[in-house]
Amino acid sequence: MQSGNYPYAGNRSIAQAQQSQRAARARRQARRRAAGCLFLFLILIGLSCFSLWQSVWGHFSRFTPHPEAFSSHEAAQYSDLFAGISSTAAVLIELDSGEQLAALRADQPMPPASLTKLMTVFAALHLLDDLQQPVTLNSDLFPPLWEENASMAGFLPGETVRAQELLYGALLPSGAECCAGLAEAVGGEPALLEEMNRLAQELGMTGSQFENPTGLDQAGHQSTAADLALLLREALREEYEPFRTIFTSWDHQCAGSDIHPDGLLLRSTLAFHRDQLQGDGWQVLGTKTGFTDAAGLCLATLAKVGNAEYLLVTLGAPGASASDTAHIEDAALVWSRLAAQIEQ
């Protein structure tokens, strides 16, 4: 009878359902195992990639220069260039690239003495329309400078000279009266100082503030070795060619004036030390000195070593007067060490 077939059909349906459930469970378990294997495989791939990345990065990072390191040489090669120097702060850079080879308290603000005149001349070049324009050195410019015992180039009160002669006079014999005359030529000392500080800000000289154009000690008047090297490197660029010509001169014969009809001979403050400023594989091309009681002996030099040019700025060498030579000895020591290391 058909009614007797219902229990059998029901049992078969239950068995089929259970079999389907077991099959579905098996498939789920298989998928979970496959997912687990895939996850483990991806982890292993990730670990392998990370290990490979570490290996590659480790290889190349050994040759990645520090931002302040010299790009062409290992920084450690130059770590002893300043060993034993008497200057308080110093920096040495390659002129073309601007890369630092060595630094000693290079960002420490200090009185810059007459290294200030590097900025005075640089700013005046930005403001002067004509380097041949006549400038009269008014008599009232001199007494304050004499009172401070400032270094002088040799021009006299009331003398009329060309602006170009004042640029030479400020850098070579470090004449304070030349700085005062340049200030008058560009509209007064406030105008010159405004330009000096504007240029300092534009160049990123964050440790510098100029309160006068001569470098005489004054509250708030400061710079750093690194800032002055940055300034000098910029000023020596081809577009400011008058600056390089002046900076690399050892003397300059001025044209005749109303007071000096035969002209005035301007000499670098280091003109009589040239023998100390050259050696095996190196030669100093240009200099600027500075000294005050607060600043000590300061020196900026441009030198050729091998086939390249470099800048060295030192601040705060000990000395009782501008005629002392600790800063010159420091420079000669650093340049000779650099030449010896480059030759290796």
Residue 39 binned pLDDT confidence (cut-offs 50, 70, 90): low
Quick one: average pLDDT of 66-72?
A: 35
pLDDT of residue 62: 27
- Could you give the number of structural domains in the chain? 2
- Whether 68 is in a domain gets the answer no
Q: How many angstroms separate the CA atoms of 144 and 164, rounded?
A: 23
Q: Are 8 and 118 contained in the same domain? A: no
- Whether 201 is in a domain gets the answer yes
- Whether 154 is in a domain gets the answer yes
Q: Are 43 and 93 contained in the same domain? A: no
Q: Are 168 and 206 contained in the same domain? A: yes
C-alpha torsion angle, residues 302, 68, 105, 210 (rounded to 10): 60
pLDDT of residue 15: 44
Tokens of 29: 């378990």
Measured over the CA atoms of residue 219, residue 146, residue 235 and residue 307, the dihedral's sign is negative
Q: Are 28 and 148 contained in the same domain? A: no
Q: Which ranges of the chain does DSSP label H, i.e. alpha helix?
A: 6-61, 116-127, 142-147, 163-171, 176-185, 189-203, 225-235, 241-247, 326-343
Which residue range forms the structural domain that includes residue 8? 2-61
pLDDT tens digits, residue range 161-189?
999 999 999 999 999 999 999 999 999 99
pLDDT tens digits, residue range 288-342?
999 999 999 999 999 999 999 999 999 999 998 889 999 999 999 999 999 999 9
Beta-carbon contacts of residue 144 (< 8 Å; ≥ 6 apart): none
Q: Are 13 and 83 contained in the same domain? A: no
253 DSSP β-pair partners: 265
Residue 344 binned pLDDT confidence (cut-offs 50, 70, 90): confident
The yes-or-no verdict on residue 73 having pLDDT over 50 is: no
Quick one: average pLDDT of 250-265?
A: 95
- Whether 266 is in a domain gets the answer yes
Contact, 309 vs 285, CB < 8 A?
Answer: yes
Quote the DSSP letter at residue 66: P
Q: Calculate the alpha carbon distances from 81 to 70, 314, 318 in Å.
A: 13, 13, 19
Q: For position 261, which CATH number holds?
A: 3.40.710.10
Q: Are 16 and 41 contained in the same domain? A: yes
The yes-or-no verdict on residue 38 having pLDDT over 80 is: no
Q: Are 233 and 288 contained in the same domain? A: yes
More confident position, 170 or 6: 170
Q: Percent of the chain having pLDDT more than 90?
A: 74
Of 281, 297, 277, the closest CA to residue 289 belongs to 297
- Whether 304 is in a domain gets the answer yes
Of 116, 118, 92, the closest CA to residue 104 belongs to 92
pLDDT tens digits, residue range 85-133?
999 999 999 999 999 999 999 999 999 999 999 999 999 999 999 999 9
Q: Are 86 and 154 contained in the same domain? A: yes
- Whether 265 is in a domain gets the answer yes
More confident position, 35 or 333: 333
- Whether 67 is in a domain gets the answer no
Q: Are 54 and 188 contained in the same domain? A: no
The yes-or-no verdict on residue 31 having pLDDT over 70 is: no
Q: How many angstroms separate the CA atoms of 213 and 241, rounded?
A: 21
- Whether 332 is in a domain gets the answer yes
Quick one: average pLDDT of 8-12?
A: 41
